[in-house]
Amino acid sequence: MGNDDHRRRKTPCGFCMAVFKWIPVLFITAVIAWSYYAYVVELCIRNSQNGIAMIFMLLFYHLFLTLFMWSYWRTIMTSVGRIPDQWRIPDEEVSRLFRADSPETQKRILNNFARDLPVTNRTMNGSVRFCEKCKIIKPDRAHHCSVCSCCVLKMDHHCPWVNNCVNFYNYKYFVLFLGYALVYCLYVAFTSLHDFVEFWKVGAYDNNGYSAQGQLNASGMGRFHILFLFFIAIMFAISLVSLFGYHIYLVLVNRTTLESFRAPIFRVGGPDKNGYNLGRYANFCEVFGDDWQYWFLPVFSSFGDGKTFPIRHMEEDTESLLGYHSDTRIELEEDFLPEPRFQDSIP
């Protein structure tokens, strides 16, 4: 995490902002806690008439909930990682960089410093990517996050719902979190559907709030807990379907959310969205590992170190690497060189 972020947190305003960032996480946690009460207490314990069915419902419910919460917790608590010191430019070189009299001079300074670093990504003018705030050469696929105030390895996006950057170290956890959240919502909706239908049956309740046919035993507010449980489960499931499906697609094509909007620029070949695409199975294994026993568990099994990534061979699709493939966009890179400080402006 950047030094600027540490300084901001020491101020009252910075502390308040840090607390404010946890509100979405607390909201999700509160919804999950309420859904636990509504499902376990109101739907299963107070309303179920079949003891065996209740046991199986609770068994699978707690299994999905555990995997869901485990993945969510790992996504939140996993650090964005630290870029090693060899990627950091010394202060004297930074001073030279900012005092350079032309962009070409700046480009030469950066390329010279990075000659022994494994970087293949470039800016539009062909220079090594440099972060002015962190004073580092950016590793491939790394970007600076203004919320985290640091450069993040293989940054996908900053997600306020987990108060963290989705990055190399927690991307697997994030995808599993979306998947298990979807399974959790669908399971809750499916198992509460019968009681939801009974709620709307005309004349199904007597004056005491009990089902005249004996179909729904919950009374008073308990019935409304079950009603809203079904509504909220369906609502979240609908929103999760598209998001989970999109990230499965990104995994299979080995692309981050940022790269889907702005193609990475390679030293050889130029901009190419498919530069890291090694094939669907290889792409999947790069995120989830090659041991199927760990694929569906929120434990780290991704390949690599987050700083270097295999690139497909140019022979596979020369036109794509040259920027002519129909799925390749040539767009401006956000990482420009520092604004040159010309000598005639220096007293």
Summarised one tens digit per residue, pLDDT across range 262-313 is 999 998 888 999 999 999 999 999 999 999 999 999 999 999 999 999 998 5
Average pLDDT over residues 319-327: 41
The whole-number pLDDT of residue 346 equals 33
Average pLDDT over residues 158-165: 95
The whole-number pLDDT of residue 330 equals 33
Lowest-confidence range among 100-114, 123-137, 163-177, 223-237? 100-114
For the chain, the average pLDDT equals 83
Residues sharing a CB contact under 8 Å with residue 34, sequence separation 6 or more, in sequence order = none
The whole-number pLDDT of residue 219 equals 55
The whole-number pLDDT of residue 256 equals 96
Give pLDDT tens digits for 44-93.
888 777 889 889 999 999 999 999 999 999 999 999 988 988 999 988 88
**How many residues are listed for the chain in this entry?**
347
> Which of the following is catalytic: 131, 151, 159, 165?
159
The pLDDT of residue 36 is above 60: yes
Tell me how far apart the alpha carbons of residues 177 and 193 are, in angstroms, rounded to a whole number: 24
Lowest-confidence range among 67-81, 122-136, 178-192? 122-136
Please give the backbone phi and psi of residue 128, each rounded to the nearest 5 degrees, phi first. Answer: -65, 140
The whole-number pLDDT of residue 253 equals 96
| Coil, helix or strand at residue 271 | strand
Task: State percent of the chain over pLDDT 70.
Answer: 81
Tell me how far apart the alpha carbons of residues 156 and 179 are, in angstroms, rounded to a whole number: 17
Average pLDDT over residues 167-195: 95
Q: Judge whether 159 counts as a catalytic residue.
A: yes
Per the CB < 8 A criterion, the answer to whether 81 and 153 are in contact is yes
- Find which of 13-22, 59-68, 107-116 is predicted with most confidence, using mean pLDDT: 59-68
| DSSP type of residue 316 | G
Give pLDDT tens digits for 190-215.
999 888 787 776 444 444 444 444 44
The whole-number pLDDT of residue 32 equals 97
The whole-number pLDDT of residue 23 equals 95
In terms of C-beta density within 10 A (0-12 exposed, 13-18 middle, 19 or more buried), how is residue 295 classed? middle
